[in-house]
Structure 1
Amino acid sequence: MSDRPIIDWPAWTDSPPGRYVLEWEQAQLDRVVFNVFGYHALQLGLPRLDALRENRMPCRGLVLDSASGASAPYTYPPARSPHVAGPELPGSAPLPGAPNSSPVPSDRHAPDGRTTVWCDLLDLPFEAQSVDLIVMPHTLEFTRDPHRLLREAERVLMPEGQLIILGFNSLSLWGARQSVGKMTGRPFVPAAHDLIAFTRIKDWIKLLGFELERGRFGCYRPPLDGETWLSRFAFMEQAGDRWWPIFGAVYMVTAVKRVRGMRLIGPVKVKKPVLATGLTPAATHKTHNPSI
């Protein structure tokens, strides 16, 4: 059972269902990251999805781990227009060749004008509170310790920084087929481990101090392999978004790192009211009750 087959990303993203999912995810990311501002932005894994192409931060980086299936090889085509490389990422270790870095394959790199950092995703070589945006496209499904990876993301994010997570929805037809495929040795989607439920992701990020900003599901067509059959079920996109939104094949979660302000604990001193000049109290020591 430990040697269950895993579909690699390059093969899957070239298939009809892979292109279908990546097109939806790319459209959602382009819309969301466009309005996220700051200085440093990171994409963790999955170089076949250009999660930061519409983001306008001056320093955008792609973080890859040679031991992770989410860092599947991909060579980007030349850019249509020249890009100016941004400044160095904050506090990054010297790569490659650093003692803790992995060998860098020649066919894996970020788009033009981006910085590529090779490291262990569970030990990010960045300073605490130094990154404004982190995008994790299916990264949690390939790491051996997803909760630790979320803690690393929380550590390097600045207060009010944003975290975007994309993953396959286990509560969907795609998730059901994946579960059956794992048992029969024919998985449908690329994931090194079992799919993580959307509700569990929400609980994890809340425990780490994140505030869920928005969540969205997509890709409501059945888990079919052929382009023709997927096209025939295109009508399910609008129907699913309206009638069964939580059963989409994939989800996107956007969360904001909140840092609560400090509160002083102790007795509250109540000041006595000060009378205005020229006014006398309603009752003084000279006031008497005529009935006594």
Structure 2
Amino acid sequence: MMERFSEWLAEGDLGRYLLEREQAYFDGAVADAFGYHAVQLGLPGHDFLRANRIPLKLVADPDGPAELACLPEALPFASNSLDLVVLPHTLDFTTHPHQVLREVERVLMPEGRVVLTGFNPWSLWGAKRLAAGRYEVPWRGQFLSLPRIKDWLELMELEPDGGSFMAYAPPFSRGDWLHRFAFMEAAGDRWWPLAAGVYGISAVKRMRGLRLITPTWGAAKKAARGLAVAGGNDRHHVARQAQETDPHDPGPA
């Protein structure tokens, strides 16, 4: 199904409209991710890692002409081995979305990042899916809600740290109609962000049980004040001894 979705993105006006916006989102979301290994799961015909500078990048997909053939719910990578994983609608077109996220959490290194996009069921795109049926791509996707995805991420200790909404125009198949509703793109983020056709979210794998040890500055300051007071008392004691001693007094015979 992902292969047909990849073709849909490249062929029609609506697909190209969506691809342009998602490409811009991924470009911004992965640009500052660092490490050594990055993987894109699905849509091998489109490079959503192109803006990233990680040296070793590959695309994994069970069907298409990818560099690695594998199921997203059974990744052939060692645990804690990847720095970045991107999921362009991968959860929408798999029968095991929760297991896919579990696998992503497993293979990510601590502080590694996952970036994903998904169709918003509470949008005009979701309404068309209900009206047109689920027989054609992309309407055959699962359209998982953003709150549900966030719940799964939180359960797996993948902490969201950014996101975006995109594709506010109604899902018309003709480019001229999409152009007529271009004004919705400019106003969408401000007036109706939750009505966007697609959402994007980025999350970081946090280390379980990690505790940051910091210096006890309060105790150190208290100790420093104690030393200063002690030093001051010693100096005053020496001064008093000097004052009490007459330099012209020869002392006891």
Q: TM-score range by the shorter chain?
A: 0.7 to 0.9
Q: Secondary structure at the match of 1:20?
A: helix
Q: Give the C-alpha shift of residue 8 in structure 1.
A: 2.1
Question: Which of residues 34, 37, 40 is equivalent to 1:40?
Answer: 37
Q: Secondary structure at the match of 2:58?
A: strand
In 1, are the aligned partners of 2:160 and 2:202 still within 8 Å (CA)? yes
Is 1:8 the counterpart of 2:28 in the alignment?
no
Question: Which of residues 100, 118, 122 is equivalent to 1:149?
Answer: 100
Higher normalized helix content (fraction of residues): 2
Q: Give the C-alpha shift of residue 11 in structure 1.
A: 4.1
Aligned residue-pair number? 217
Q: Give the C-alpha shift of residue 262 in structure 1.
A: 5.2
**Which residue in the other structure is 1:165 paired with?**
116
Q: In the TM superposition, what are the counterparts of 1:17-32 in structure 2 within 5 Å? A: 17-32=14-29
Change (3 A) 1:193 1:238: closer
Q: In the TM superposition, what are the counterparts of 1:260-279 in structure 2 within 5 Å? A: 260-261=208-209
Larger Cα Rg: Structure 1 or Structure 2?
A: 2
Q: Secondary structure at the match of 1:214?
A: strand
Distance 1:229 1:138 in 2: 25
Q: Secondary structure at the match of 2:25?
A: helix
Q: TM-score, normalised by structure 1?
A: 0.69
Q: Give the C-alpha shift of residue 56 in structure 1.
A: 0.5
Is 1:120 the counterpart of 2:120 in the alignment?
no
Change (3 A) 1:219 1:260: same
Distance 1:150 1:58 in 2: 24
**Which residue in the other structure is 1:233 paired with?**
181
Q: Which amino acid counterpart does residue 205 of structure 2 have in structure 1?
A: K
Q: Which amino acid counterpart does residue 136 of structure 1 have in structure 2?
A: L
Is 1:199 the counterpart of 2:110 in the alignment?
no
Distance 2:62 2:3 in 1: 17
Distance 1:201 1:171 in 2: 14
Distance 1:7 1:156 in 2: 24
Q: TM-score, normalised by structure 2?
A: 0.79
Moved over 3 A (4+): 274-279
In 2, are the aligned partners of 1:6 and 1:190 still within 8 Å (CA)? no
Q: Secondary structure at the match of 2:68?
A: strand
Q: Give the C-alpha shift of residue 227 in structure 1.
A: 0.7
Unaligned runs of 5+ in 2: 212-222, 234-253
Paired-residue identity, %: 47
In 1, are the aligned partners of 2:85 and 2:114 still within 8 Å (CA)? yes
RMSD: 2.4
Distance 2:181 2:98 in 1: 36
In 1, are the aligned partners of 2:129 and 2:139 still within 8 Å (CA)? no
Is 1:135 the counterpart of 2:98 in the alignment?
no
**What CA deviation, in whole Å up to 9, does each residue of 1:7-59 have, x standing for no partner?**
92244211111000000010111112111110000000012321111111110
Q: Give the C-alpha shift of residue 240 in structure 1.
A: 1.2
Q: Give the C-alpha shift of residue 160 in structure 1.
A: 0.4
In 2, are the aligned partners of 1:6 and 1:191 still within 8 Å (CA)? no
Unaligned runs of 5+ in 1: 67-72, 74-107, 110-115, 264-273, 280-292
Q: Give the C-alpha shift of residue 62 in structure 1.
A: 0.4
Change (3 A) 1:152 1:61: same
**Which residue in the other structure is 2:55 paired with?**
58
Question: Which of residues 149, 173, 176 is equivalent to 2:127?
Answer: 176
